[in-house]
Copies of this chain bind each other. A is one copy, B any other.
Amino acid sequence: MKPWLHGRKPGDRRVRVERPHAPYFRYAGPGLLVAREAASRPRTPAGRAIARVRGMLFGRPLSIHEEITERLSKKKALAIFSSDPISSSAYATEEILRVLVLAGAGALLLSLPIAIAIAVLLAVVAISYRQIVQAYPSGGGDYAVARRNLPAIGSLVVAAALLLDYVMTVAVSTASAAEQVISAVPALADGKVVLGVGSIALITLGNMRGLRESGNIFALPTYLFVGSALTMIAIGVFRIVINGEGAAPAEPLPGAPEIPQAVGVLLIIRAFASGSVALTGTEAVANGVPAFNPPEARNAAATLAVVAALLAVLFIGITFVASSFGVLPVDEPVRRTVISQVAAIAFGNGSIGFYLFQTFTALILFLAANTSYNAFPRLAAILARDGYMPRQFSFRGDRLAFTSGIVVLSLVAIALLVAFGGDTHALIPLYSVGVFAAFTIGQSGMIVHWLRERPVGWKPRLAINLLGCAMTGSVAVVVLIAKAPASLLVGVIIPALVLMMLFINRQYRASAQHLAVAPDVVIPAPHREERVIVPVPGITRAVVQAVNVGRSIAPDVQAVLISDEPEEAAAIKQRWERQLPEVPLVIVESPYRALVGPMLAYLDVLDRTWPADREQPITFVVIPEYVARRWWERVLYNQSANRLRRVLIGRPHTVVVNVPYRREEEAQAEATT
């Protein structure tokens, strides 16, 4: 006998296979098994086929132990974590230009200094995150910082802001990807929303089927985009600096006001706030520290620095070329993105280089959207563990847990995409406010952290986080005000999410309290009497099986037939007494043709007939079921059984027992006897 088989009495000779658990479990001590991968392997042929294909494409699933041992090299980590931040260079320049263009074409030259200022902000934020990475090397980013340093409400606001951030990453990235496609192929202009929704559907499907960010496939688009974007900037800079091309920079349009003086400070601030969408995604590295090769914190910090530097170069470079050539956002007749116009200038409009670059841009945006499909379920799982989200989000490895997160993420992103007509520019305020709110609270958490811990050299670090907090907070407020109607939605969404999480938490805490067992009471075996009721529709194999299961639970078994056809019922009763003489059958005629009501009433009557001086017995209601093998069979069978179960679930002293009847099983049984 194997010691892990607890339920057996010593000397019991039941064990016949030498190590029957071996394929599924590793024996790890008395009463302790560790599941192997095979234990959660799909059991249907179709499921196994899908798993095989997935294994070939993405490698086999990783256990929590392996996840820790399989670390990312800096090169791979760079590709995986940078698609989100770097892809924002595809639309950030355009956001600046869209504000400045309001002050006339001349004001566009201000875009370069504004881009440089945003790069400075990026540096501050990156250094702040470097400090977060070093202080919280176990990952979790802003949520971890807020949770450990701020009151609960702070961490919930961050969590809500991050959930919104992930949704917006999907919506904005797919919208922008669609616009890049349209900029290259204007004929598709009418299908913008369809393109965006289609992309989300594709990513959803991929993730449902187990697509993950492992594999080199995911590194490729990042490198292709970065490489071609750097080439594009180099060509542009070469033509401006060496060839002296580009729109004459200092030549104001006739009648346009003088440049800097006329442009209000307010406009510059708004342009700065709009362009700071370039920073979205910077938080990704801080969330994934444990995935790096040791020393984790140092490698993550180095990666973060490289990502930030790359992003700064791309952003400033694209802005420089765009403003030098006088590129303006084009909406009519079809949207042409600024980055696509820059690509057309650098590679030549309609050239292979142009189309390739647009493809790479769309691909990295697509990839950026995909990162949310990892981050959203992960954060949802953490929140579920902490009791702030429904529990089904927490079992990460199970198909269903991811499915819940993926479906919620996709549906909300699609709703936003459709509501905003697939317009990147319209979606971005929501995105920026959410991201900068998370930044700000994360930084304030770090401020509390430094004030509390005061390690060696804490003062300059505090100063950086103070600066970061002030700057990101200002950006959040400016965007909130400047993009007022749309951005204020955030002021509804985040509080609503926080309230929902608080509500869920209160429920779970209340139920945990209700369910709590005093920790030192020894719980004795019960001595309750038992009664078995089998609702039957007639005499079938399923009924016979259920009656027999009932008889094996307790000797007191009654079958009950609810019928609105008295003659039929009488015939069944006669046959029953002949075939199942040991089990009494009660006929309940139901002239009102109801089924559930009379059944409940009958159980109530049984309860009332029980002597008052004895505790009520447990009533086992044994329901025969016919196992549906296909989806449409569920419509045809067991509807009454399901209805009865739903009603009985609320009845005291009552336990519902489902006895499924399977055709194959019985056929086997027959063949052997």
Residues of A within 8 A of B (CB): 2, 4-7, 13-17, 20-21, 24-25, 28, 31-35, 37-41, 43, 61, 63-65, 390-392, 395-398, 400-401, 504, 507-508, 511-512, 514-517, 519-523, 525-526, 528, 530-531, 539-542, 544, 547-549, 551-554, 556-558, 562, 564, 573, 575, 578-582, 584-598, 600-602, 604-606, 608-612, 614, 618, 620, 625-627, 633, 635-637, 639-640, 643, 645, 649-650, 652-663, 665-666
Enumerate chain B residues within 8 angstroms of A508, measured Cβ to Cβ.
Answer: 636
Is B637 within 8 A of A511, CB to CB?
yes
A613 and chain B: residue at smallest CB distance = B16
Is A16 within 8 A of B612, CB to CB?
yes
Is A519 within 8 A of B584, CB to CB?
no
Is B626 within 8 A of A39, CB to CB?
no
A151 to B541, CA, bound (A): 31
Enumerate chain B residues within 8 angstroms of A625, measured Cβ to Cβ.
Answer: 649
A625 and chain B: residue at smallest CB distance = B649
The 9 closest A-B pairs by CB, nearest first: A397-B593, A40-B597, A6-B584, A40-B594, A63-B591, A39-B601, A515-B540, A24-B601, A20-B608
A660 and chain B: residue at smallest CB distance = B649
A595 to B395, CA, bound (A): 7
A596 to B6, CA, bound (A): 21
23 A–B contacts, CB within 8 A, in A order:
A16-B608, A17-B608, A25-B602, A31-B573, A31-B584, A32-B586, A32-B589, A34-B591, A39-B597, A40-B596, A41-B597, A397-B592, A398-B593, A400-B639, A508-B636, A514-B666, A516-B541, A517-B539, A522-B578, A528-B552, A530-B552, A655-B657, A655-B659
Given the known inter-chain contacts A564-B397, A649-B660, please indicate yes or no for A20 contacting B609, CB distance below 8 A: yes
Is A589 within 8 A of B28, CB to CB?
yes
Enumerate chain B residues within 8 angstroms of A557, measured Cβ to Cβ.
Answer: 7
A522 to B579, CA, bound (A): 4
A28 to B391, CA, bound (A): 51
Assembly stoichiometry (copies)? 2
A395 to B661, CA, bound (A): 23
Enumerate chain B residues within 8 angstroms of A395, measured Cβ to Cβ.
Answer: 564, 593-595, 640
Which of B7, B37, B640 contacts A584 (CB under 8 A)? B7
Is A609 within 8 A of B16, CB to CB?
yes
A541 and chain B: residue at smallest CB distance = B515
Is A38 within 8 A of B601, CB to CB?
yes
Which of B507, B526, B588, B611 contacts A636 (CB under 8 A)? B507
Is A618 within 8 A of B552, CB to CB?
yes
Is A519 within 8 A of B595, CB to CB?
no
A398 to B593, CA, bound (A): 6
Is A515 within 8 A of B551, CB to CB?
no
A580 and chain B: residue at smallest CB distance = B523
Which of B61, B520, B541, B558 contacts A592 (CB under 8 A)? B61
A506 to chain B, nearest CB (A): 11
Is A594 within 8 A of B39, CB to CB?
yes
A25 to B633, CA, bound (A): 35
Enumerate chain B residues within 8 angstroms of A645, measured Cβ to Cβ.
Answer: 658
A575 to B519, CA, bound (A): 8
A393 to B2, CA, bound (A): 53
Enumerate chain B residues within 8 angstroms of A21, measured Cβ to Cβ.
Answer: 605
Is A587 within 8 A of B32, CB to CB?
yes
Given the known inter-chain contacts A553-B553, A609-B20, A650-B662, please indicate yes or no for A601 contacting B391, CB distance below 8 A: no
Is A64 within 8 A of B517, CB to CB?
no
Enumerate chain B residues within 8 angstroms of A542, measured Cβ to Cβ.
Answer: 515
Is B656 within 8 A of A658, CB to CB?
yes
A634 and chain B: residue at smallest CB distance = B390
Is B507 within 8 A of A25, CB to CB?
no
Is A31 within 8 A of B578, CB to CB?
no
Is A14 within 8 A of B398, CB to CB?
no
A636 to chain B, nearest CB (A): 5
Is B520 within 8 A of A578, CB to CB?
yes
Is A598 within 8 A of B523, CB to CB?
no
A551 and chain B: residue at smallest CB distance = B525
Enumerate chain B residues within 8 angstroms of A39, measured Cβ to Cβ.
Answer: 590, 592, 594, 597-598, 600-602
A468 to B580, CA, bound (A): 54
A640 to B399, CA, bound (A): 12
Is B540 within 8 A of A586, CB to CB?
no
Is B604 within 8 A of A24, CB to CB?
yes
A618 to B549, CA, bound (A): 8
Is B655 within 8 A of A658, CB to CB?
yes
A521 to B673, CA, bound (A): 15
Enumerate chain B residues within 8 angstroms of A656, measured Cβ to Cβ.
Answer: 657-658, 660
A189 to B604, CA, bound (A): 56
Is B515 within 8 A of A626, CB to CB?
yes
Is A25 within 8 A of B591, CB to CB?
no
A428 to chain B, nearest CB (A): 32
A547 to B7, CA, bound (A): 14
Which of B32, B511, B558, B562 contacts A7 (CB under 8 A)? B558
A665 to chain B, nearest CB (A): 5
Which of B517, B520, B598, B654 contacts A40 (CB under 8 A)? B598
A46 to chain B, nearest CB (A): 15
Centre residue among A13, A39, A610 by max chain B CB count within 10 A? A39
Enumerate chain B residues within 8 angstroms of A539, measured Cβ to Cβ.
Answer: 517
Enumerate chain B residues within 8 angstroms of A390, measured Cβ to Cβ.
Answer: 635-636, 639
